[in-house]
Amino acid sequence: MTYRSVQVRFPRSTSHTHARLKDPQIVSFETKKGTLIDVEVFVNCQYGYDIQCEVVGETGIARLPEPSAVQMRKSANLSTAILTDWKDRFIKAYDVELQAFINDVKAGQLHGPSAWDGYAASVAADACIKAQGTSEPVEVTLPECPAFYKR
């Protein structure tokens, strides 16, 4: 995915932040094909560790499921606990990803992201940092991928 631009907006800050952190932040990417991606970052949200992902397409919507949790009915309330640590949700995924990388190295073949993908992510991250200092969209300028990195 190649980005065209990125813009960072700052809604009203939470009372739980500090002077050096603008929190929350809304980061909007536009791809070269015109796809819009909004990322909401809220470090001090106070209610738990929460990851949401929703993809709205032409013929439907895909949404990440909530982690499994027991629903409680008590005192006229229906509630579900929210995780408080990333490890509770993602540690198994990290283990699977790392093991797949180890298996690929042993087999002499690599799948997944390349060094070029890492470079592209760094270019996008640099544009995000620049966009934090302006209210305008910032162009994401990535040179053509060298043939060396193409598989």
Encoding tokens for residue 5? 């631009």
Token duo for residue 23: 């929190």
**Is 3-69+78-149 CATH 1.10.3720.10?**
no
Give the pLDDT of residue 98. 94
Burial class (CB in 10 A: 0-12, 13-18, 19+), 114: middle
113 pLDDT above the threshold of 90: no
Domain ranges for the chain: 3-69+78-149
Residues 6+ apart with CB under 8 A from 7: 27, 28, 131, 135, 136, 137, 138
Q: What is the pTM of this model?
A: 0.83
Q: pLDDT tens-digit profile of 2-58?
A: 899 999 999 999 999 998 899 999 999 999 999 999 999 999 999 988 889 999 999
Query: What percent of the chain stands above pLDDT 90?
Result: 75
What's the pLDDT at 1? 67
Residues 9, 135: contact at Cβ < 8 Å? Answer: yes
